[in-house]
Chains A and B, each alone.
Chain A
Amino acid sequence: MVTITTYEGLVMVDPEWGVAPWLAASWDISPDGLTYTFYLQPHATWADGMPVTAEDVKYTFDQWKEQQLPRMLPYVKNIESVTVINEKTVAIKLYDMDVTFLSRHLSWPSLMIVPKHIWENIEDWNTFVNDDPETHWGSGPFKLKEWKKGEYCQVEANLNYWMGRPYVDTITHIVISNRDMQILAFEKGELSIFNGLNGNEVPRFLDPEKWKIYTIEDSGQPNWYPNTRQRPGNDTEFRHAMWYMIDRETILEAAHFGYGKIPRHMLATPYEVGGWIPPETVTEPMNLTKAAEILDAAGYLDVNDDGWREYPDGDEMELKFSVYDFERFIKCAEILIDDMQSIGINVYLNVFPSSMWAQVHLTTFDFDFAYFRYGPGGGDPLEPMSWSTSWGDNWIGFYNETFDNVYLEASAILDPDERRPLVFELQRIMAENYAYIPHVCNIGLKVLNTEVWDPLPNSLPWGPWSNLQSWHYFNVHLKGEPGAAMVNLAFEAPSEAMQNEPVVIKATITDEEGNPLEGLYIDFWIEGFTVGSQVSKSNGVAEFTWVPLEDGDYEIYTAFPGTGDYQTATTDPITITVGAEEPEPEPEPEPEPTQDNTMLYLGIAAVVIILVAAWFFMKGKK
């Protein structure tokens, strides 16, 4: 958490899963895809004022390779050599072509560039701890101020930051070991930001005078996995039946409290932004009858009439569904298990401490189903795909030769547009094989204390790069160049709408002379939440489509979070009245069952009997 504010990487993953410049202002890739030449930012310096040079970059990679630190190996193992071309130019040569190299292995915060003139004095790498404010110098907007182990860590503004001084003077990371206490401390105002709010906790933070809630779509893949190493997971027909057993609507409501999205295909919903998901929708609504029919046809029948289905050869079927001890995962699994049991599949829940998860799923493979979120750091869609290749982690044991070949073919194409059809094909192969079943994509919630954040200019805490955990430290508080230009922001939306019907909100951003501005992020706010960000097109218009789920009045406005060139802008809110859908005729209310008081009467009778017995006993004693 600390080093992401004090050190920087060469590149950054942008919201459309492309790669954006960072310490490297630009780069070339050789036609064979093996050599990457980076041109560093001319003004970038370390916190002590020394320039960031190609030597530093070479030193960083050489050290990680030389020291063989296991944690750093995945990032550098494909690097053959690093060559300094001149003070600000450096070339990296790879052994094998890897189109995910930039987004997966070079992007901050995976790999950070360190200053050679400080780090070369390290005597023993095995015992080196980077905790001394005198030498913890990166090129980032903050530098280490004080680190009290187990209590807190404070970073302060780097006044010499090469992109300008940050607005925030200090950031303190505090250790609070108990989640309930974290929320209490946030409510009390001791903390200014809280990550990972649960949907059911939202009502506590609705007061706009005090708090602002942001929603962030999770790029991780939440899936229901069969263990395809063993039966019944190795039977495509069984997996085909699983495809219809999942009640995403209920899971969305009961486990995500409405903060989630139902995916259309194998990749998580945020990949829609880059156009990485095929046009067709493959996920199907729950249909237990169909699932039961498929199972019947495949021979999974209840032959001994014990209420549970048996394997086609007549063996008893008792299946283990494992999740780790994360509340939402357990709830999702319970809903799934209920549905499976209702069609005669004998399955039970097995909850692990998260620390044992990897043991079970990487070593012993002792599970039939698992619910799990596979979390790529964002970036190229091939990254989550690599997991399912026969050389990937792939602990469910799904191996498919065609998939491997298409993956290899795709990973040799640098141009995203040329690669897209192959990424579609990879997803289709998975869907046809029902390798795993897409679940509900989570929408994360973060809440801010407005007293701290509102006075800050550009104070949208994670800016457009909302898919990245901590980008806000960089994006928000950088003081723009002097004389930042004003913008005009306006938006239009219908004043009336219908429930469950899309509403198009159009925001237009222009400069002071009225020329449209392209490529800027506009945020759309509904009832105090950012519900989405869109980029302005060449005509300065950013369009957002919103589907109101309930009737009522909604206050809507748009905001521009600002950039180094332009100042922030916010529009006045307007109110949209959403009418209710034609209500279905309400069923006759069932007569309320009369309360059963039997237990109460029994209890009273028991007490009376005891009292009488006690009275007799006492009397006898006298």
Chain B
Amino acid sequence: MSGRDYFIKRTVLVVTTIFVVIVINFFLFRIMPANPVDILISPTQGQEKMGIEIKEALMKDLGLDRPLYIQFIIYLKDVLQLNLGYSFRAPRPVIQIIAERLVNTLVLMFTGNVISILMAVSLGVIAAWKRGSKTDLGSLISALTLTSMPMFWVGGIMLLIFSVRLDLFPMFGVTKIGYSHPNFLSYLGDYLHHLFLPMITMALVSFGGLFLIMRNSLMDVFSEDYILTAKAIGLSERTIIFKNALQNAMLPLVTIIAIRIGFMFSGSLLTETVFSWPGLGYTIYQRDYPILQGTFLIITILVVISSFVAELIYGYIDPRIRTGASSG
């Protein structure tokens, strides 16, 4: 199979997946318990006195009284036009609300995971090369400890130490309240200052798993004959690690990253709620159907596309994948 065929096959698969996602996304929210209108008049809102007639008026207003298949056709047509409807709570276009917040989610997810991958690769190399040393043991123990700690707990502790006690970082938001930044650099500085704690929390929590995989796969590679040969012909340590070993050891890591993209999103959404980071995390707790549907759709499409990109990279790193050749 040529590289072009591989690409076309993958693309068709991606488009089909996205369609299935749209279908599931529509029906999933229809079969969930609780009617969205009930939430609008939920007792916690103090609006229970509205009563059933108001509820019916709302159902009609929101189009929820029409047959399911008609609701679906309307939905499909709108999605293709990127019209995800209006929020139930504030009459604003969903796509606008999502766009405002998606940037923050993506920034947090991307930076947090890049840092965690960089940490995992570099520490993994050191640990594997100096196997059994104190550095190896130390990073192994910290990786295992960090992996077993829940995100919200790490986040809370980070806030307590660095924000409440030491007062080094802000507790919420993306920028200082009511502060108009004179130029872009000052805005960027402020943004990074707010980003730092959630980003580090994300990086720490996802670091452990990646580190363990990196270390183990490097150790496997180090025991291969060709490494022994490389050592025997007198290549430098640096050349052996970065030219011969790392490229092969990266394969499992890339696979894991591709598989974990979905988890990266959910991790980011969780982190957001702890740090009051105004990303998509907060919107999805409000049971606002159009927002929920829109958010899930956008996130799933992003996950599908990211996995697609990861597969292409994978195919590039390991030619066996794209040619379909068997290893051996």
B163 interface neighbour in A180, A188, A363, Cβ under 8 Å: A188
Q: Are B43 and A354 in contact (CB under 8 A)?
A: yes
| A126 interface residue per 8 A CB criterion | yes
Q: Are B273 and A177 in contact (CB under 8 A)?
A: yes
Q: Report A-chain residues with C-beta under 8 Å of the C-beta of B38.
A: 355-359, 362-363
| B54 interface residue per 8 A CB criterion | yes
| A599 interface residue per 8 A CB criterion | no
Chain A, residues 136-175, CB within 8 Å of chain B (1/0): the string is 0000000001101111101000000000000000101011
Chain A interface bracket (under 10, 10 to 19, 20 to 34, 35 or more): 35 or more
| B77 interface residue per 8 A CB criterion | no
Chain B minimum-CB-distance residue to A375:
B46
Q: Are B173 and A358 in contact (CB under 8 A)?
A: no
CB contact list, B166-193 vs A, under 8 A: 167, 171-175, 177-178
Q: Are B160 and A358 in contact (CB under 8 A)?
A: no
| A573 interface residue per 8 A CB criterion | no
A188 to B166, CA, bound (A): 11
A152 interface neighbour in B48, B90, B173, Cβ under 8 Å: B173
A181 interface neighbour in B167, B177, B274, Cβ under 8 Å: B274
Q: Are B49 and A174 in contact (CB under 8 A)?
A: no
| B13 interface residue per 8 A CB criterion | no
Given contacts A152-B177, A355-B287, A358-B42, contact A127 B274 (CB under 8 A): no
- The interface stretch among B18-26, B55-63, B205-213, B241-249 is B55-63
| B282 interface residue per 8 A CB criterion | yes
Chain A minimum-CB-distance residue to B92:
A129
Given contacts A149-B100, A184-B171, contact A70 B54 (CB under 8 A): yes
| B41 interface residue per 8 A CB criterion | yes
Q: Are A176 and B276 in contact (CB under 8 A)?
A: yes
Given contacts A175-B278, A377-B46, contact A151 B173 (CB under 8 A): yes
For chain B, the count of residues having a C-beta within 8 Å of the partner chain is 53
| A185 interface residue per 8 A CB criterion | yes
A218 to chain B, nearest CB (A): 12
Q: Are A372 and B49 in contact (CB under 8 A)?
A: no
Q: Report B-chain residues with C-beta under 8 Å of the C-beta of A357.
A: 38, 42-44
| A190 interface residue per 8 A CB criterion | yes
B281 to chain A, nearest CB (A): 8
A374 to B174, CA, bound (A): 38
Q: Are B164 and A188 in contact (CB under 8 A)?
A: yes
B88 to chain A, nearest CB (A): 11
Given contacts A188-B164, A358-B39, A376-B49, contact A127 B86 (CB under 8 A): yes
Q: Are B43 and A372 in contact (CB under 8 A)?
A: yes
Chain A, residues 178-215, CB within 8 Å of chain B (1/0): the string is 10110011011010000000000000000000000000
Given contacts A175-B276, A181-B171, contact A359 B34 (CB under 8 A): yes
CB contact list, B141-177 vs A, under 8 A: 156, 159-160, 163-164, 167, 171-175, 177
Q: Report B-chain residues with C-beta under 8 Å of the C-beta of A128.
A: 91
| A50 interface residue per 8 A CB criterion | no
Q: Are A177 and B48 in contact (CB under 8 A)?
A: no
| B114 interface residue per 8 A CB criterion | no
Q: Report B-chain residues with C-beta under 8 Å of the C-beta of A376.
A: 49
Q: Report B-chain residues with C-beta under 8 Å of the C-beta of A393.
A: 48-49, 51-52
A129 interface neighbour in B55, B91, B173, B276, Cβ under 8 Å: B91
Q: Are B177 and A185 in contact (CB under 8 A)?
A: no
Q: Are B174 and A362 in contact (CB under 8 A)?
A: no
A289 to B156, CA, bound (A): 49
CB contact list, A445-463 vs B, under 8 A: none
B113 to chain A, nearest CB (A): 22
| B328 interface residue per 8 A CB criterion | no
A187 to chain B, nearest CB (A): 7
| B126 interface residue per 8 A CB criterion | no
Given contacts A181-B171, A355-B287, A358-B39, contact A154 B100 (CB under 8 A): no
| B305 interface residue per 8 A CB criterion | no
Q: Report A-chain residues with C-beta under 8 Å of the C-beta of B160.
A: 184
A73 to B49, CA, bound (A): 12
Q: Are A154 and B178 in contact (CB under 8 A)?
A: yes
B267 to chain A, nearest CB (A): 16
Given contacts A354-B42, A355-B42, A375-B46, contact A174 B164 (CB under 8 A): no
| B239 interface residue per 8 A CB criterion | no
A126 to B92, CA, bound (A): 9
A588 to B55, CA, bound (A): 62
Q: Are B285 and A177 in contact (CB under 8 A)?
A: yes
Q: Report B-chain residues with C-beta under 8 Å of the C-beta of A70.
A: 54, 57-58, 61
B52 interface neighbour in A73, A151, A180, A362, Cβ under 8 Å: A362
Q: Are B43 and A178 in contact (CB under 8 A)?
A: no
Q: Report B-chain residues with C-beta under 8 Å of the C-beta of A187.
A: 164
Q: Report A-chain residues with C-beta under 8 Å of the C-beta of B276.
A: 175-178, 181
A148 to B278, CA, bound (A): 10
Q: Report A-chain residues with C-beta under 8 Å of the C-beta of B281.
A: 177
| A324 interface residue per 8 A CB criterion | yes
A74 to B49, CA, bound (A): 9
Q: Report A-chain residues with C-beta under 8 Å of the C-beta of B51.
A: 74, 392-393
A104 to chain B, nearest CB (A): 8
A354 to B39, CA, bound (A): 8
Q: Are A74 and B100 in contact (CB under 8 A)?
A: no
Q: Are B43 and A358 in contact (CB under 8 A)?
A: yes
27 pairs across A/B with beta carbons < 8 Å? A71-B47, A73-B54, A74-B54, A127-B92, A127-B93, A129-B91, A129-B92, A150-B100, A150-B278, A172-B177, A174-B172, A175-B278, A175-B282, A176-B172, A180-B156, A181-B275, A184-B160, A184-B163, A188-B164, A324-B43, A324-B44, A355-B39, A356-B38, A357-B44, A358-B38, A358-B43, A363-B38
Q: Given A178-B273, A180-B156, A356-B34, 7 other A-B contacts at CB below 8 A?
A: A73-B57, A126-B86, A127-B91, A177-B282, A355-B39, A362-B52, A393-B51
Give chain B's interface residues, CB within 8 Å of chain A: 33-35, 38-39, 41-44, 46-52, 54-55, 57-58, 61, 86, 90-93, 97, 100-101, 156, 159-160, 163-164, 167, 171-175, 177-178, 272-276, 278, 281-283, 285, 287
Closest 6 CB pairs of A and B: A150-B278, A358-B38, A356-B34, A70-B57, A70-B58, A359-B38
